[in-house]
């Protein structure tokens, strides 16, 4: 077993740098900055808070939240599948032991609840935090939603019930299910009424 220690905050600084210094057009670079500030940072913060409440490996949860949308830096889709490989490679090459990289890879792969459903508490926490963060006003108001292909203008024409169902299936904890009901109500008022 590899017991290599890693500095999670150095990893976070590198991932932040990857978002803020990504190649591309100035508009995309600005959107990635908003995506970092209004999606990745809140997902990390809420995941860490949920880790205190529900348990699990706090470092694995932090890393999974930090890297869950890694493929979107390069606009790669399906970002859960591509991002899982990128997150594993990123961690294994410079930062963390294989066991850690594998657990983080699984979080990234399962966070959208599309092909794979989260099983571990760590996977469920990041999927839940991500689902909630997609409905915070800052995510849509800042333009960060465009990076994940969820422009609020486009979302206005979507069926709110279908959208609510799709995302509520990604919320795995009772307290967060109640919070989701409030968040979706606020989202609906902001973008649908």
Could you tell me if residue 78 is inside a domain?
Answer: yes
Q: How far is CA 180 from the centre of its chain?
A: 16
Could you tell me if residue 41 is inside a domain?
Answer: yes
CB 88 within 8 A of CB 101: yes
- pLDDT attached to residue 123: 98
Could you tell me if residue 69 is inside a domain?
Answer: yes
Could you tell me if residue 1 is inside a domain?
Answer: no
- pLDDT attached to residue 45: 97
Could you tell me if residue 52 is inside a domain?
Answer: yes
* DSSP secondary structure, 125-168, as one string: HHHHHHHHHTTSHHHHHTSHHHHTT--HHHHHTS-HHHHHHHHH
Average pLDDT estimate for 78-90: 97
Could you tell me if residue 145 is inside a domain?
Answer: yes
Task: Find the CATH number of the domain harbouring 99.
Answer: 1.10.3210.10
| Tally of domains in the chain | 1
DSSP state of 70: G
Average pLDDT estimate for 166-181: 92
Confidence of residue 19 (pLDDT cuts 50, 70, 90): very high
Q: pTM for the complete prediction? A: 0.91
Could you tell me if residue 3 is inside a domain?
Answer: no
For 124-153, write each residue's pLDDT tens digit. 999 999 999 988 877 766 666 666 665 444
Range of the domain at 128: 8-191
């Amino acid at each position: 077993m590899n017991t290599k220690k890693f500095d999670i905050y150095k990893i976070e600084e590198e991932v932040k740098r990857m978002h803020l210094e990504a190649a591309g057009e100035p508009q995309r670079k600005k959107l990635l900055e908003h995506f970092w500030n209004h999606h990745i940072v809140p997902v990390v913060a809420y995941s860490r808070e949920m880790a205190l409440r529900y348990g699990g490996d706090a470092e694995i949860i932090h890393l999974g939240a930090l890297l869950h949308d890694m493929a979107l830096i390069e606009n790669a889709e399906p970002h859960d599948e591509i991002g899982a490989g990128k997150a594993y490679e990123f961690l294994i090459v410079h930062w963390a032991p294989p066991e850690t990289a594998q657990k983080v890879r699984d979080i990234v792969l399962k966070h959208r609840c599309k092909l794979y459903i989260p099983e571990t508490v760590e996977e469920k926490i990041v999927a839940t935090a991500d689902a909630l963060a997609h409905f915070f006003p800052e995510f849509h108001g800042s333009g960060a939603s465009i990076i994940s292909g969820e422009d609020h203008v486009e979302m206005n024409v979507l069926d709110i019930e279908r959208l609510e169902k799709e995302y509520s299936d990604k919320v795995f904890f009772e307290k967060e299910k109640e919070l989701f009901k409030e968040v979706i109500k606020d989202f609906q008022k902001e973008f649908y009424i």
